[in-house]
Amino acid sequence: MDKRPRRLRYNPLVRELVKETVLELSDLIYPLFIIEGNHIKKEISSLKGVYHFSIDCLEEEIREIVALGIKYVILFGVPEHKDNKGSEAYNDEGIIQRAIRTIKSITQELYVITDVCMCEYTSHGHCGILDQKGYVDNEKSLYYLGQVAVSHAKAGADMIAPSDMMDGRVGYMRKELDEWGYTHVPIMSYSAKYASSFYGPFREAAGSTPAFGDRKTYQMDYANSDEALREVSLDIEEGADIVIVKPALAYLDIIRRVKDHFNIPIAAYNVSGEYAMLKLAVENNLLDEQAIMETILSIKRAGADIIITYFAKDIAKKLKGLS
């Protein structure tokens, strides 16, 4: 018998017929950075093609995103005022709360997700509240993070995404959201979040580099894989609706293990450093542009249902035949 795998490769139509993974725009979430001030649309130097927007400059961007067919955004805020409790994070008039209301007044077509964390809002840059010795106080942090989640929901957020990595925060936020009547707001939890050097450009963009120490006491060791399954399992028990693996590319094995072990939607965060590397390589003609599709598709092939990526606009243009 003639066993030739190539039989299914000769004709482009048959290649299409047997294609296993297809990337769709509805798989992608596009991150947006919102900054205080007026008339600001400024490229983030470490993230080519990604900008800081002040709220008054959001409209044009939002209209472009919708026109490209992108349906989901995740918001990050860069406040002017930082303090040790990160109080701008749960201020109903804070940067994110105003941005959500502005976006919702521009369009109802965009699904707005918010990142819930303290690191952009605290003067020390850690993801929670510190105790007197300078360690993150898990229980105290939960109280404040619960307030942040509710305040985002009040402003109109469609989904919240806790990225702080405190223990028990999914259950705590679920309880708070339910008590305030936001039972319909899902939680997409950063469940397996590694202490990674690939967040470098984001920390510049969000002004969230810790003033001292690092995040290794609350983010995961990149040597570990079983631990990711324990984290995911706890978050599911606490009520997470979607779990995130972050970063994506150096962690494709983790995405696949989570996919094989659990029956829950998985999002992978293709983080700032991963974007910067590839974007620079393509812009400098070291790699062909196809490398972008190939890379993002690999995340889906590994098992992610959803991909959070700064490439969303580039991919939308590609899928629409605009580039």
| Catalytic residue set | 193, 246
**In one letter, which amino acid is 166?**
M
Residue with tokens 């098992």: 303
Q: How far is the CB of 38 from ligand PBG (least distance, A)?
A: 26
Return d(Cα 136, Cα 128) in angstroms, integer: 6
Compute φ and ψ for 265, nearest 5 degrees: -60, 140
**In one letter, which amino acid is 112?**
V
Asked if 151 is part of the footprint of ligand PBG (rule: CB under 6 A), the reply reads no
Could you tell me the CA-to-CA distances from 19 to 12, 259, 269, 272 in Å, in that order?
10, 20, 24, 29
- Among 58-66, 115-123, 178-186, 232-240, the segment contacting ligand PBG (CB under 6 A): 115-123
Q: Write down the number of H helices and E strands in the chain.
A: 11, 10
Return d(Cα 72, Cα 276) in angstroms, integer: 21
Asked if 272 is part of the footprint of ligand PBG (rule: CB under 6 A), the reply reads yes
Q: How far is the CB of 305 from ligand PBG (least distance, A)?
A: 19
Of all residues in the shown chain, the one whose CB is closest to ligand PBG is 202
Q: Which two tokens stand for residue 79?
A: 């406040």
**Which of 28, 258, 271, 315 lies at the binding interface for ligand PBG (CB under 6 A)?**
271
- Run of H or E residues at 238: helix 226-238
Q: Are the C-beta atoms of residues 176 and 150 closer than 8 Å to each other? A: yes
| Kind of pairing between the strands at 28-35 and 41-43 | unpaired
Q: How far is the CB of 154 from ligand PBG (least distance, A)?
A: 21
Asked if 202 is part of the footprint of ligand PBG (rule: CB under 6 A), the reply reads yes
Asked if 309 is part of the footprint of ligand PBG (rule: CB under 6 A), the reply reads no
Asked if 115 is part of the footprint of ligand PBG (rule: CB under 6 A), the reply reads yes
Asked if 191 is part of the footprint of ligand PBG (rule: CB under 6 A), the reply reads no
In the bound state with ligand PBG, the residue whose beta carbon lies nearer, of 91 and 208, is 208
Q: Site mask, ligand PBG, residues 205-224, x = CB under 6 A?
A: ---x----------------
Asked if 73 is part of the footprint of ligand PBG (rule: CB under 6 A), the reply reads no
Cα first-last separation, the chain:
44
Q: How far is the CB of 188 from ligand PBG (least distance, A)?
A: 12
Asked if 199 is part of the footprint of ligand PBG (rule: CB under 6 A), the reply reads yes
**Which of 163, 189, 295, 309 lies at the binding interface for ligand PBG (CB under 6 A)?**
163
Would you call 317 helix, strand, or coil by DSSP?
helix
- Run of H or E residues at 66: helix 58-68
Return d(Cα 127, Cα 122) in angstroms, integer: 8
Asked if 170 is part of the footprint of ligand PBG (rule: CB under 6 A), the reply reads no
**Which of 48, 154, 203, 318 lies at the binding interface for ligand PBG (CB under 6 A)?**
203
Q: How far is the CB of 268 from ligand PBG (least distance, A)?
A: 12
Would you call 22 helix, strand, or coil by DSSP?
coil
Q: How far is the CB of 16 from ligand PBG (least distance, A)?
A: 33
Which residues would be at the binding site for ligand PBG (CB under 6 A)?
Answer: 115, 117, 119, 127, 163, 199, 202-203, 208, 271-272
